[in-house]
Amino acid sequence: MRLTVLGCAGSFPGPDSACSAYLVEADGFRLLIDFGSGSLSALQRYAGLHAVDAILLTHLHCDHMLDACTYIVVRRYAPQGPLPSLPVYAPAGAHDRIAAAYSSEPEAVDDVYTFYGLQPGTFPIGPFTVTVDRVNHPVETYGVRLEWQKRVVAYSSDTAPCDALIRLAHGADLFLCEASYLDGVENPPDLHLTGREAGEIATKAGVGKLLLTHLVTAWGSEATTFEEAESAFDGPIEIVRPGARYEL
């Protein structure tokens, strides 16, 4: 199983990174998890324009899904003819949200995407066993656990601390966890994690490696976020970068 970070900027694109998008591959199958602003560019740079067999959108905030709109052009108007419909696993309302953002005169996008509504539970996508559960964010949002041949990648999506995330990340080899906020300031509740909170969850879940993502670098500090995470988790920690690949 291979994880490639396409975009990891929190909340809005940064100077050096698109918003959230992660490509997970196994047995030749390519699952794109989130498709945030700017990440279609990164998909071409680090994988390929058509290098997607299924999409999972953890929630419908712009920085996690907006390039699913621009990608309609790629699939529908390909010079060689329309590409096969892609399965999209997403919260309820994804079709209408994508259609509305795609055009000022919304039209159906069912020719490009086949939608499957997410609900807490376990189901297969390609070779992966996928478990999703609701996490603590203002809109319907799912944390993700991906298993393939006893290897596990867990992803927080956007969330404040919650027990569901500890369960999803339990024993994960790689735990891709958001760390949007810094400690010691008045952060809005039920929205995001600090580096320390990401570290605490990693410790409670007993993960192998903590990958910090979704930092809002324009407003925060990578060094401080890293130190906060280190104060709460003894294992290896990395702040992810676009193009970073992890094999497991």
Of 4 and 20, which has the nearer Cβ to Zn ion? 20
Euclidean distance between CA atoms 72 and 244, whole angstroms = 26
Task: Tell me which residues in 187-246 interact with Zn ion (CB under 5 A).
Answer: none
Q: Which is nearer to Zn ion, 180 or 233 (CB)?
A: 180
Closer residue to Zn ion, CB minimum distance, 180 or 225? 180
Q: Which range, of 74-82, 93-101, 154-162, 167-175, touches Zn ion by CB under 5 A?
A: 154-162
DSSP per-residue codes, 58-124: S--SHHHHTHHHHHHHHHHT-TT-PPPPEEEEE-TTHHHHHHHHH-SS----TTTEEEEE--SEEEE
Q: How far is the CB of 79 from Zn ion (least distance, A)?
A: 35
CB 66 within 8 A of CB 36: yes
Q: List CB contacts of 82: < 8 A, sequence separation 6 or more.
A: 75, 76, 111, 112
Q: Could you give the 3-state DSSP secondary structure of residue 200?
A: helix
DSSP 131-193: EEEE-BSSS--EEEEEEETTEEEEE--S-BS-HHHHHHHTT-SEEEEE--B-TTS-PPSSS--
By CB under 5 A, tell whether 97 contacts Zn ion. Answer: no
- Taking the least distance from each CB to Zn ion, the nearer of 191 and 248 is 191
Shortest reach from residue 59's CB to Zn ion, in Å: 6
Residue number with CB closer to Zn ion (75 or 220) = 220
Q: Which CB sits closer to Zn ion, 112 or 168?
A: 168
Q: Which of residues 24-63 bind Zn ion (CB under 5 A)?
A: 61
Provide the token pair at 223: 């060094």
Per-residue contact track with Zn ion, 155 to 184, x per CB under 5 A?
---x--------------------------
- Nearest approach in angstroms of CB 20 to Zn ion is 9
Query: Mask: binding to Zn ion, 59-88, rule CB under 5 A, as x and -?
Result: --x---------------------------
Segment interacting with Zn ion (CB under 5 A) among 39-47, 80-88, 124-132, 152-160: 152-160
Which residues sit at the interface with Zn ion, rule CB under 5 A? 61, 158
